[in-house]
Amino acid sequence: MSSSDLANGGRILVNQLVAEGVDRAFGVPGESYLAVLDALYDTPEIAYHLCRQEGGAAMMADAYGKLTGRPGICFVTRGPGATNASAGVHIAFQDSTPMILFIGQVGRAMMEREAFQEIDYRRMFGQMAKWVAQIDDAERIPEMVSRAFHTATSGRPGPVVLALPEDMLSTPVPAPVPARPYHASSGYPDPALMAGLWQRFDRAKRPLIVVGGGDWSAAAKADLEAFAEATRVPVAVSFRCQDYFDNTHPCYAGHVGIAIDPKLAGRIRESDLLILLGTRFGEMTSSGYSLMKIPNPDQPLVHVYPDPEELGRVYRPELAIQAGSAAFARAARAMIEDGVTFDSAAWAESTAAAHSDYLAHNAPVEVPGRLQLGKLVAWLAETLPPETIVTNGAGNYAGWVHRFYRFHKFRSQLAPTSGSMGYGLPAAVAAKAVHPERPVVCFAGDGCFMMHGQELATAVQYGLNIIVLVVNNGTLGTIRMHQENHYPGRVSATDLANPDFAALARAYGAFGEVVEDGADFAEVFARAQASGKPALIELRLDPEVITPTATLSGLRAKALAK
């Protein structure tokens, strides 16, 4: 055998990634996977984005997975690199995002001694990933990596973790043939079950579809919108899946999330044909499992989900259809195009009422102080083009975005259903890398921003001109709100001493300004857009304004009066 037939694991791995169509990876280097970094040195097909912390890198990979439908690729080193990255793996799991985390691992000869930074990733990520494995034989890289792509994208998508022992990556072996590129597969709805669904539609008076989960696409959204247009069926979106249905569509019924509009909650409770499409209807969507009884909902329930293990796991449906959301939406549209009709007279009026209730709930409300956050978000919704990508992490500030923004295009929202603080900024960085032509706006709280704020350096390094809006209320507002509700007046470990965010942004080489009065926002935002740099605008919000409809002192008084 000639030496040209030999390749090390790093080269074999990168060749396989190229064969799978990978164009980008996010990571933080480590000495444990130098051979991969070396192979990337002469692989122009793959852009490696050097991040500042692995949590941010993994969140960027998640955002890439959401935006493209292809696995987001993340490379981290063993031990501390992997533990940092776990935040992003958990997000990808709860959001059903295709993602592959590659971890440099200690050498094979020293395994199980608790060598430097050694962890058994199978045990560590067991509950958080669809599949966790270690590639001990470089000749099996094509097989294992190919399986990782299939697993991450098929059925209910999710993260896969592959550990790469350092010496496996660096030792030459006979070069294997790359595996063929992956194909994602998800179930197509059984026509017999679909017939049962259409019969139920015929009898229904108050049908409602709630969409969410992974395995969606722009085409799936368009198919569902066409189906809704033809049948006038109202469609609501689950927590943080607000871009799965055009919010200005006349059948759009609103966001089934935290602080749900009580009128929409009523519609869900009273529905006589509730179709959950791709959503697990988890804790945040179900208002703490209060909108449907468990295990037997009062509402006649049809559950469409790609993973059969989820069907009947929490809610016992009348009809369970194992199918991908995209396949279901395609089938539903095809049926309408084949000439099947429903008499929508029974519900058309209530669909119109649901949409006007949504519009009323979406209209900004007046709050105390000079910064009208609702109006500011509504102004952005009016002003920014529909392809704008809006990101956020976790905190009460996000509630304003969810309520007062309007989403039109698929994947114009990147927000973690797992409620992971700090997600917004790395997601925005990835979004701008994938779609440089689309405006990207990140909302972060003052607590949230500090979790992964260092990725502003990544935005500057790669010239990714995102705009970050830091809603600074000097507190971990969500927790403070819960404190006032449950332990009124006993403010414990929630006040924040913050840096000067605008100055911090400028120190990074970004644009930075402060807005205290909402009237100045449009002007500052225009300057940020024109700056030609990543930008941060600090919005000073009175902590009293804890939600669009509650003040901290009001919550305290209410709790004390109990």
Ligand X SMILES: Cc1ncc(C[n+]2csc(CCOP(=O)(O)OP(=O)(O)O)c2C)c(N)n1
Q: Is 252 in the site for ligand X (CB under 6 A)?
A: no
Question: How many amino acids of this chain bind Mg ion (CB under 5 A)?
Answer: 5
Binder of ligand X out of 273, 394, 442, 464 (CB under 6 A)? 394
Stretch that binds ligand X, among 59-67, 226-234, 259-267, 477-485 (CB under 6 A): 477-485
Binder of ligand X out of 216, 244, 397, 521 (CB under 6 A)? 397
The phi, psi pair for 210, rounded to 5°, reads -120, 125
Q: Is 421 in the site for ligand X (CB under 6 A)?
A: yes
Draw the binding track, 472-501, toward Mg ion (x: CB under 5 A; -: no contact). -x---x------------------------
By the 10 Å C-beta count (0-12 exposed, 13-18 middle, 19+ buried), 126 is classed as exposed
Q: Is 396 in the site for ligand X (CB under 6 A)?
A: yes
Stretch that binds Mg ion, among 95-103, 177-185, 444-452, 458-466 (CB under 5 A): 444-452
Closest CA to 184 of 220, 209, 212, 148: 148
Work out how close the CB of 477 gets to Mg ion at its nearest, in angstroms, rounded to a whole number. 4
Q: Which is nearer to ligand X, 87 or 162 (CB)?
A: 87
- In angstroms, the first-to-last Cα distance of the chain is 82
Work out how close the CB of 545 gets to ligand X at its nearest, in angstroms, rounded to a whole number. 10
Task: Say if strands 467-472 and 72-76 run parallel, antiparallel, or are unpaired.
Answer: unpaired
Stretch that binds ligand X, among 100-108, 138-146, 181-189, 444-452 (CB under 6 A): 444-452
Q: Give 398's contacts (C-beta < 8 A, 6+ positions apart).
A: 392, 415, 443, 445
The phi, psi pair for 473, rounded to 5°, reads -115, 10
Q: Binding partner of residue 146 among ligand X, Mg ion, none, CB under 5 to 8 Å per kind?
A: none
Q: Binding partner of residue 372 among Mg ion, ligand X, none, CB under 5 to 8 Å per kind?
A: none
Sign of the alpha-carbon dihedral angle for 553, 377, 448, 536: negative
Beta bridge partners of 547: 550
Stretch that binds ligand X, among 104-112, 272-280, 329-337, 388-396 (CB under 6 A): 388-396
Q: Are 464 and 427 in contact (CB under 8 A)?
A: no
CA distance 326 to 221: 8
CA–CA distances in Å: residue 316 to residues 114, 238, 265, 443, 446: 45, 19, 20, 37, 41
Stretch that binds ligand X, among 161-169, 229-237, 281-289, 445-453 (CB under 6 A): 445-453
Stretch that binds ligand X, among 37-45, 382-390, 393-401, 506-514 (CB under 6 A): 393-401
Work out how close the CB of 117 gets to ligand X at its nearest, in angstroms, rounded to a whole number. 23
Q: Is 426 in the site for ligand X (CB under 6 A)?
A: no
Binder of ligand X out of 479, 491, 514, 522 (CB under 6 A)? 479
CA distance 400 to 362: 10
Q: Is 477 in the site for ligand X (CB under 6 A)?
A: yes
Q: Which is nearer to ligand X, 324 or 453 (CB)?
A: 453
Q: Are 506 and 512 in contact (CB under 8 A)?
A: yes
Closest CA to 246 of 263, 230, 265, 226: 226
CA distance 331 to 123: 40
**Where along the sequence are the contacts to Mg ion (CB under 5 A)?**
445-447, 473, 477
**Where along the sequence are the contacts to ligand X (CB under 6 A)?**
394-397, 419-421, 445-448, 471, 473, 475-479
